[in-house]
Every structure is written in structure tokens, then in C-alpha cells.
Amino acid sequence: MSGQTARVDDVVVERVLRAVEQVPRGRVVSYGDLAALVGIGPRQVGTIMRLYGSNVTWWRVTNASGALPTALMDEVRERWAAEGILLRRDGRGCRIVDHRADLSRLSADWERATADLAG
């Protein structure tokens, strides 16, 4: 049974990471957007991103207000500037409403990208 649990966890991690890979350049999504897509909670998405997200476009995933942890903002500023994502006036994130990915298209792209995964 524990092998099945680990397998499900691995599949959930992969589903989240593949969702992140579908976010287009110059766009962001919130942890909650990804959580709704994958069928888990936003905190679970945050944990998965913290533990496994370094090899995907993690800078495209923000909290609901368009911010990331302060420790990441120096690197995020450079990446966002390169992608045309504008900082809010306070410099602590972006206006997510201006830069959010099209969630319908993201869902369709993610469905295709995860078609080979069980669960």
C-alpha cells in the first residue's frame, strides 16, 4: 500500500510540474489556479514547487496577489523583465490580473500534457 501512496504522490508532483510547464512566457498563474487545475490545495502546490520546482518555470507561479517570497524577488525581477512581466509599483510582485495566463487554454494544454499519466 505504501508503494501506491508514493506512486500517487509522484503522479501529483508530475501533474503540477507539467501544469507549470504549460504557462506561456510572459504570463503567470497563482498557486490556487494550479491547485484548481490539478485538484489539490494551493499549499500542496506551494510545497511541490518548493521541493521539486527548480527545473520548471517556477517564476511564473505566484500567490493570489501576484507576489513571490522576498528571497526570490531579485531573480524574479530579471526573469520577469526578460518576459515582459511588469512589477507592481511596490516592487513586490506583478499585477496578476494583467499577466494571468488564459486558464481555459492552460487547462486544455495541461490535459494534453498529462494524458500519459495515471490518476
> Domain spanning 2-113 has what CATH number?
1.10.10.10
| Number of alpha helices (DSSP H) and beta strands (DSSP E) in the chain | 6, 2
10 φψ region: left (φ > 0), alpha (ψ -120 to 50), beta (else): alpha
Q: Is the pLDDT of residue 67 over 50?
A: yes
Q: What is the mean pLDDT of residues 43-72?
A: 94
Q: What is the pLDDT of residue 13?
A: 96
Residue 61 three-state SS = strand
Calculate mean pLDDT across residues 77-89. 95
